[in-house]
């Protein structure tokens, strides 16, 4: 007699475990549509830039908007704590590795200046760009009206894990359904990773959900707290919630997979897992125009008592335009992301992101070692 089981453990998958299967029909890349729609906004590419200080400042936000994507400005980082944020960012890039955690903890202990919130939004809007900006749930009640007044186009509420209901005695937050009433802009909330959590958030009336806990390059949430769900499963579960919610209510809530991408291949797999768009951090931090100057760090890194993450060196490889549209000068899949996505969709026979979500995906455990095998033989 087998012993009774304490609990069920479901198998999950990340990008490394899966691969896409070519379709029965192939399509020429130029026949393919990669549009991403969020309520009234349609973007030519389904790419968002992470609300992280190493990735998005006002200049980067304007540039990505011009190129067809959407950058999210973090309203609780250096851009709203320092008038001259750029000097602070330059200083972070110059600090040696062994001092950087302490230095970041100090930098991020400066108070947020409320006047800078509106100012940063206006900077982006004045340049003619679509402006998305993010706050944490704790500060939503306070900052949301300021953002609305400044004319934010898309409002993002984001923390490591965000749920429709939060228990606290230290602050009284705003419910997302109340937020939806007072905020004219579409609202994106995250992060979450499960069917139930996603469905609860959708019922509040929001427009998009950020999917991903623990996968990012600059994040150690999984090591520190054990919490994290691999991105393929997390995206699939939240996409299943989207389908159910659509069927029940007729409303389509966008699934935005956030974090853990290393190559164009990973991005393609996110769409095949059900994503409507992806949010990129490290990959965009490699752009010449990124404020991180070749470095990247998570927004939980500066936590005073429990830092989760570290500053990593990602380098600056090329312009943002080359990262997005090529031509690629490297062959590892980190440049010409739009070209890679179109090529992948063409091979899989997907005319649109919606069709890409239905492409066959398989578990492909084989790590690619052929190249290493033949190279290693040379070394003998």
C-beta closer to a second copy: residue 129 or 350: 350
SS (H, E, C) 130-146: CCEEEECHHHHHHHHHH
Element (H, E) at 126: helix 114-126
Residue 101 contacts a second copy per CB under 8 A:
yes
With the C-alpha atoms ordered 34, 322, 280, 187, is the resulting torsion angle positive or negative? negative
12 has catalytic annotation: no
Distance CA 106, CA 98 (A): 14
For residue 99, what is the DSSP state? G
Q: In the range 228-257, which residues lie near a second copy by CB under 8 A?
A: 228-230, 233, 236-237, 239-241, 243-244
Distance CA 106, CA 126 (A): 32
Residue 352 contacts a second copy per CB under 8 A:
no
The token duo for 77 is 């980082």
Residue 370 contacts a second copy per CB under 8 A:
yes
C-beta closer to a second copy: residue 149 or 360: 360
User: Closest Cα partner for 238 from 261, 267, 213?
Assistant: 213
Residue 305 contacts a second copy per CB under 8 A:
yes
CB of 288 to a second copy, least distance (A): 15
Among 7, 40, 111, 172, binds a second copy (CB under 8 A): 7
Query: Nearest 5°: CA angle at 106, between 104 and 109?
Result: 105
Angle (deg, nearest 10), helices 58-67 and 114-126: 30
Residue 184 contacts a second copy per CB under 8 A:
no
Element (H, E) at 241: helix 231-249
Distance CA 231, CA 217 (A): 13
Among 37, 122, 139, 200, binds a second copy (CB under 8 A): 200
Residue 293 contacts a second copy per CB under 8 A:
no
Query: Taking contact as CB under 8 A, which single stretch among the options 36-44, 123-131, 158-166, 179-187 is the one that binds a second copy?
Result: 158-166
Residue 343 contacts a second copy per CB under 8 A:
yes
- Which member of 192, 219, 268, 348 is catalytic? 219
C-beta closer to a second copy: residue 40 or 366: 366
Q: In the range 112-151, which residues lie near a second copy by CB under 8 A?
A: none
Q: What does 265-282 look like in DSSP terms, one character per residue? A: HHHHHHHHTT-SEEEESH
Query: Taking contact as CB under 8 A, which single stretch among the options 58-66, 127-135, 202-210, 340-348 is the one that binds a second copy?
Result: 340-348
Query: Taking contact as CB under 8 A, which single stretch among the options 7-15, 45-53, 69-77, 79-87 is the one that binds a second copy?
Result: 7-15
| CB of 290 closer than 8 Å to CB of 243 | no
CB of 323 to a second copy, least distance (A): 13
Q: In the range 9-48, which residues lie near a second copy by CB under 8 A?
A: 9-28, 30-31
| Residues recognised as catalytic | 219
């Amino acid at each position: 007699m087998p012993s009774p089981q304490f609990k069920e453990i479901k198998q999950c998958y990340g990008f490394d475990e899966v691969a896409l299967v070519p379709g029965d029909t192939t399509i020429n890349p130029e026949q393919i549509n990669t549009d991403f729609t969020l309520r009234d906004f349609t973007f030519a590419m389904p790419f968002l830039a992470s609300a992280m200080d190493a990735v998005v400042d006002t200049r980067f936000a304007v540039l990505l908007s011009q190129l067809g994507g959407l950058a999210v400005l973090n309203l609780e980082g250096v851009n709203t704590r320092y008038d001259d944020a750029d000097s602070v960012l330059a200083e972070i890039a110059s600090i040696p590795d062994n001092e950087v955690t302490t230095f970041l903890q100090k930098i991020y202990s400066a108070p947020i200046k409320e006047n800078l919130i509106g100012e940063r939004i206006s900077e982006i809007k004045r340049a003619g760009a679509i402006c998305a900006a993010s706050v944490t749930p704790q500060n939503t009640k306070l900052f949301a009206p300021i953002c609305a007044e400044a004319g934010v186009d898309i409002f993002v509420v984001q923390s490591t894990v965000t749920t429709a209901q939060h228990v606290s005695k230290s602050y009284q937050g705003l419910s997302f359904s109340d937020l939806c009433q007072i905020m004219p802009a579409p609202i994106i909330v995250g992060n979450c990773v499960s069917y139930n959590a996603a469905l609860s958030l959708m019922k509040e009336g929001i427009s998009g959900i950020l999917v991903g806990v623990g996968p990012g390059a600059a994040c150690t949430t999984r090591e520190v707290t054990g919490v994290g769900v691999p991105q393929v499963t997390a995206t699939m579960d939240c996409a299943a919630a989207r389908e159910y919610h659509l069927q029940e209510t007729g409303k389509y809530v966008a699934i935005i997979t956030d974090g853990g991408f290393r190559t164009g291949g990973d991005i393609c797999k996110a769409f095949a897992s059900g994503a409507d768009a992806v949010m990129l951090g490290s990959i965009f931090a490699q752009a010449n125009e990124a404020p991180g100057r070749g470095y990247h760090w998570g927004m939980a890194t500066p936590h005073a008592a429990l830092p989760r993450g570290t500053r990593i060196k990602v380098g600056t490889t090329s312009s943002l335009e080359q990262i997005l549209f090529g031509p690629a000068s490297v062959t590892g899949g980190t440049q010409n992301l739009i070209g890679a996505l179109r090529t992948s969709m063409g091979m899989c026979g997907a005319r649109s992101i919606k069709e890409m979500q239905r492409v066959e995906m398989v578990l492909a455990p084989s790590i690619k070692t052929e190249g290493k095998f033949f190279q290693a033989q040379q070394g003998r």
